[in-house]
Amino acid sequence: MRVHRARMELAGYDIKGKVVMHIDDNPLNVRLDNFRVGTQAENMADMAHKGRGRTASRFKATEIADIVRKHNAGVSINQLTRETGRSRTALRGLLQNIALKASQKPAQALLGLFEL
């Protein structure tokens, strides 16, 4: 049994057939006040609302530009989470994806020199 489920059960919550969700999306935060019991459908809706998972709404180009600009200026991911309403996971994934694509461009350009 995972820690968050054990804590909720020990605190007297009925979790049978339900999921225990982290309110702040931080699996390391195991405080009781960070948990919420719900259905899997509620969990999926929460994921989509917070911009996590495959069902997450896509970032708009203007939103991406604003996030990248602020992050490059030193704004933390936690602050961006509060400002955008997106989860840390979604923002981290976005920023890592952008960094990966940026690092691949020079290699792709170099490989282009050797195409036959």
pLDDT in tens, 22-52: 998 888 899 999 999 999 888 877 877 776 7
Instruction: Give yes or no for residue 62 having a pLDDT over 90.
Output: no
The ranges assigned to domains in the chain are: 58-116
Phi-psi region of 27 (alpha: psi -120 to 50; beta: other; left: phi over 0): alpha
What is the chain's mean pLDDT, rounded?
82
Does residue 114 have a pLDDT over 70? Answer: no
Confidence check: pLDDT of 55 > 50: no
Q: Looking at 10-19, 34-43, 106-115, which range is the least confident one? A: 106-115
38-42, 57-61, 70-74, 84-88: least confident range = 57-61
pLDDT of residue 15: 94
Give the whole-angstrom CA distance, residue 97 versus residue 106. Answer: 16
pLDDT given at position 116? 43
Element (DSSP H or E) covering residue 20: strand 19-22
